Chains A and B, each alone.
Chain A
Amino acid sequence: MLRATFKSLLSRKARLLLSTIAVVLGVAFVTGSLVLNSSLGKSIESMFTTVFDDVDVQVTAERDDSLFASATPIPADVVERVAGVDGVSEATGLVSEGTGKLRVVGKNGKAIPNFGAPVIGQNFTGFEDPMELKEGTEPQADDEVAVSASLVATTGYELGDTLPLLTDGPEAREFEIVGVFGYSGGRDSVAGEQTILFTLEAARANLMTVPDAYTLIDVTAESGTDDSQLRDDIADLLGSGYVVQTGEDLAAEQTEAFQPFLDVFNYLLLGFGAVALIVSVFLIVNTFSIIVAQRTRELALFRALGAGRGQVTGAVLLEALIVGLLSAVVGLLLGIGVGYLGTVALGSSMGTDMEATLVVPWQTILAALLIGVGVTMLAALIPAVGASRIPPMAALREAANTIKPVRWFAIIGGILLALGAVALFLGLTERVGDGDDSLLLVLAGVGLLFIGLAVVIPAIAKPLVSLIGAVLSWSMPGKLGRRNSSRNPRRTAITASALMIGITLVTAVGVVLSSANASIQKFFAESVSADVMIAGVGTLNDSYNVEILDEVREMPEVSQAAAAYIDQAEFVEPGTNDEAAVLVEATDDVTAYTELLGITVSEGDLSDLDRNGLVVYKGWAEQHRVTVGDTVDLRFSAAESAAPLTVVAVVESSIGGEVMVSDDHVDRFGQPDPMQAYITLEDGADKPQVIERINQLLAENPAVTAADIGVLNDQLTVTFDAVLLVVQVLLSLAIFIAVIGVVNTLTLSVLERTRELGLLRAVGMTRGQVTAMVMVESVVISVFGAVLGLAAGAGLGIVVQQALSDDFLEVLVMPWGTMVFYLVAAVVIGVLASLIPAFRANRLNVLSAISHD
């Protein structure tokens, strides 16, 4: 039996290849995700290890965890105390800033957005190893800086140039580049960062605004001293209020900070891997059932010759084991390769000079084996048991692969669909229980509908496939292709289902995204009446001089303008002692601000907002049980103590605000300058021209730009399109596997119909007509899958939209364009998938095909 299985495997290399590809891709995706995640984590870790390589121990002051807080200063005498600790060879006080506050103003006069490695500002303490001065000198005057070669490469500013920097406040300060330095080994940076070195006084003035203090102390240990021991000694000396870390601690902390991002990324990839895997399961099940069906006579002969049922099952499972093992190994290798390439690509896209390190955790190998072997054998189990059930003589007689009835599929599937529909209806109309129960019902309904759909597909395959095929059956080959596709409804159903899964998900995501886009556009159109918005790229020190807004108001084309100040304050939750954060807004023109943003008063009076007043948004008011007349204590970011404020109004609708205070408080905000502004124009104003002139007024404020508020919508659309693209790319693998499924099914069907093909060729069918016949069958199957996917995806998307229609998905918009695209793509896929099977069909020798048994 063992030998027979091996011989049977080797004799059908094409079959082996086809069933292997599916498993290989599934395994590769999952292992690739795991390898990518581990390698990325390891690469980030080793990057930070390099960065903090020269740090023995570092001391910083404990930070306020508020959004707008800057580094807590360390008094100069602390450096002296640290220097006195046993084992300390040198303690250097440093002024350092790398949180994004320091930005370079580009040659276009606007701040250069920075999303990758940071821009670091620091005081100059000498060019010590591994730093190397490349040209110029060290900074000596307070308006001189030395910059890293990476800054020169990124910004284009060179030695001798004036470097405008945004440090504190809305206006740029200018420095002269007197030196450019690199790092040992010809590196421009340690890990992609851009470094600017100031004199100590300039660093204090620009980076922390506190005289005679530092932000951190860099400690060099005497040789032979244990870093951890030294860390603990220094920590004991300084007591609370300080954070003492070794270089290793710092590297670990920074790496840790990346972990949430890595986790999300990993879940995302594994999620898509799971989808790919499910599709692979469909493909493997189908492939094995066809293979077993074709081998029915061979297996029956074994039975007739005395092989037991277990041996027949065993033979099929053994084949699955071999296929699974082979695929697991190939898939694992492929996954490792993909994971490594992904690490390299992501490392360079993050704008860092990250060295990609390959890590293959043992779980990856386990996963590959489990998925490859386990899934393949499970998928082969059903056909294997089926094969052993066929009585030997029935199989030997003739054509044992009779079509099994699909009635039960229709009945069970129909019941499930009905139950699902009822659950969904009750859930959506909220007839039963409260919100959570409804949500559960909706989820249960969707689940039931999906299982029901999967079960009912074989039953609806025949009529639906016939309907789709009707379009294509104008000629005899088309007619034959159409009939062939509805010949074995279960086979067609499984093949199409595999394609359906991917298309369902992309369609559903598409519906939700296009609805979200439309809902947000509608919200903007209805509530926000502003025409122009002044804003930065979204950092916390995007700001401008509020006086500029007065000049804007004087422009004849401008009807209204309102500045927006933002801060994060702390307040004590009423009735408890817990401190919580609250987002605070302020504006210089409350009336204009509320009009422009469509804010309506639901209680109280906005005109009462004075120095001691507070306006709260309804959602926040309900959450914290606050109403007009209550007092709330707020402590702003830059305030020493809390101020008691009385609620004067509760307002509705907002783009995210929680409370509003009078602009009397803004000098105690973390960012005392306004960060944004909303402007409306008079009717008939030349908008681009006005925007141009506002931007001229903002020339000295490089952090912000005035733009048409419609641009925001466009940016939103671009973002949604990007999300959809990522989903499409990730799901394209699942779709690709499904396409292989179509190729697989067709190739095996063609082999199964060898004699029919021989007959057709004998009675005068040309090769072109045979190709057309196979192509029609292929297109019908893939369009069937696409139609199912589009229907299921649209349904799923609509359900999601309906369930969230009260929250933010108010409008339902179908992405007709993309849906039509998927349908057209299905036709193309069908045509492409038919090429190999059609080639095989045409390669058949007519004579041997006729006498084929």
Chain B
Amino acid sequence: MTTAVSTDRGEAAARATDVWKVYGSGEAQVIALRGVTAEFTKGRFTAIMGPSGSGKSTLMHCLAGLDYTDRGEIHIGDNLVTGLSDKGLTLLRREKVGFIFQQFNLMPTLTAEENILLPLSIGKRKPDRAWFDQVVDTVGLRDRLSHKPTELSGGQQQRVACARALVQRPDVIFADEPTGNLDSKSGTEVLKFLRRSVDDFGQTIVMVTHDPVAASYADRVLFLADGQVVDEMFDPTADRVLDELKRFDEIVGSAQGEERR
């Protein structure tokens, strides 16, 4: 499987079409997303970046079926997410989507193994043992499977979360600042693992981050500002991303200045 792609024209694992998201009403109204259209190609690792308040987390939450959109459509694979009931969204999250949060990813009462298998056991699905073993070996948690989260380091906990997301073979894994709470060594391990799961297993990953180094592990970076997609970058490096962010802080800064009259 090839890594580098110049054009991104594969089949979409997730798709947002003209998505609007508004919080509050009247004076206090905040428009989080204003007509975002984006595609996330199968087997690719996409990072979403942008300053705080740019709507990157909101976009991810809408894509993942954790939040409702006000207008526009979301697809995961061929499934239309928009308009699903709570039950439908729950099943979608259980079967088509994997999650890695910044912190508090694991149930404290369950062992590492039980945590990894949690989405499968909730859905009463039988785990594929060979696949489970492969995932566990990839994240290097073989000897930690019977440990409770409190007995694991932060990096190990985050790797358990990665394994949990991967073991159910979802259409997309959404990672929300997965390295935000980790030291750089543990963060690097997690990012390398995410990269490997894309390269070796063809997993689709969408990651929200504000760290240019983390973003450099992605195939493509999507830049959001003020609720809109403002730019994208393929095969990013940390330096290029940093430059772009700087440039774009200036643009946005002046644009916002104008908007405020």
A interface vs B, CB < 8 Å? 475-477, 479-480, 483-484, 487, 755-756, 759-767, 769, 846-847, 850
Contact A763 B109 (CB under 8 A): no
Q: Which of B92-100, B136-144, B196-204, B225-233 touches A?
A: B92-100
Contact A764 B107 (CB under 8 A): no
Contact B119 A766 (CB under 8 A): no
Looking at the assembled complex, report how far the CB atom of B260 sits from the nearest CB atom of chain A, in whole angstroms.
28
B131 adjacent to chain A (CB < 8 Å): no
B105 adjacent to chain A (CB < 8 Å): yes
Residues of B within 8 A of A766 (CB): 87, 90-91
B101 adjacent to chain A (CB < 8 Å): yes
Looking at the assembled complex, report how far the CB atom of A298 sits from the nearest CB atom of chain B, in whole angstroms.
19
Looking at the assembled complex, report how far the CB atom of B68 sits from the nearest CB atom of chain A, in whole angstroms.
10
**Which residue from chain A places its CB closest to the CB of B90 in the assembled complex?**
A766
Contact A476 B122 (CB under 8 A): yes
**Which residue from chain B places its CB closest to the CB of A476 in the assembled complex?**
B121
**Which residue from chain A places its CB closest to the CB of B95 in the assembled complex?**
A764
- Contact mask for chain B residues 178-190; partner A; CB cutoff 8 A; 1 contact, 0 none: 0000000000000
- Given contacts A480-B109, A483-B109, A847-B61, whether A764 and B104 have CB atoms under 8 Å apart is no
Once the chains are docked, how many angstroms separate the CA of A69 from the CA of B236?
A: 114
Looking at the assembled complex, report how far the CB atom of A535 sits from the nearest CB atom of chain B, in whole angstroms.
66
Once the chains are docked, how many angstroms separate the CA of A487 from the CA of B109?
A: 8
Looking at the assembled complex, report how far the CB atom of A788 sits from the nearest CB atom of chain B, in whole angstroms.
23
Once the chains are docked, how many angstroms separate the CA of A767 from the CA of B90?
A: 9
- Given contacts A475-B124, A764-B122, A847-B61, whether A756 and B108 have CB atoms under 8 Å apart is yes
Contact B107 A756 (CB under 8 A): yes
B24 adjacent to chain A (CB < 8 Å): no
Residues of A within 8 A of B105 (CB): 759
- Given contacts A480-B109, A762-B93, A846-B66, whether A755 and B124 have CB atoms under 8 Å apart is no
Residues of B in contact, count (CB < 8 Å):
26
B44 adjacent to chain A (CB < 8 Å): no
Complex A-B, nearest 9 residue pairs according to Cβ-Cβ distance, in ascending order: A764-B94, A483-B109, A476-B121, A764-B93, A763-B119, A766-B90, A755-B104, A476-B122, A765-B122
Once the chains are docked, how many angstroms separate the CA of A847 from the CA of B61?
A: 8
Selected contact of A760 from candidates B66, B67, B91, B107, CB within 8 Å: B107
B164 adjacent to chain A (CB < 8 Å): yes
Residues of A within 8 A of B99 (CB): 762-763
Chain A to chain B contacts (Cβ below 8 Å), 15 pairs: A475-B124, A476-B121, A477-B122, A756-B108, A759-B101, A759-B106, A760-B122, A762-B101, A763-B93, A763-B99, A763-B118, A766-B87, A767-B90, A846-B66, A850-B101
Once the chains are docked, how many angstroms separate the CA of A762 from the CA of B124?
A: 16
Contact A480 B66 (CB under 8 A): no
Contact B104 A759 (CB under 8 A): yes
Residues of B within 8 A of A755 (CB): 104
Looking at the assembled complex, report how far the CB atom of B132 sits from the nearest CB atom of chain A, in whole angstroms.
16
**Which residue from chain A places its CB closest to the CB of B58 in the assembled complex?**
A847
Once the chains are docked, how many angstroms separate the CA of A756 from the CA of B106?
A: 8
B123 adjacent to chain A (CB < 8 Å): yes
Other A-B contacts than A763-B119, A764-B123, A846-B66, 15 sampled, CB-CB below 8 A, are: A475-B121, A476-B118, A480-B107, A483-B110, A487-B109, A756-B104, A756-B108, A763-B118, A763-B164, A764-B90, A764-B93, A765-B90, A766-B87, A767-B86, A850-B101
Residues of B within 8 A of A475 (CB): 121, 124
Contact B109 A484 (CB under 8 A): yes
Once the chains are docked, how many angstroms separate the CA of A355 from the CA of B109?
A: 61
Residues of A within 8 A of B119 (CB): 763-764
Residues of B within 8 A of A477 (CB): 122
Once the chains are docked, how many angstroms separate the CA of A508 from the CA of B103?
A: 51
**Which residue from chain A places its CB closest to the CB of B104 in the assembled complex?**
A755
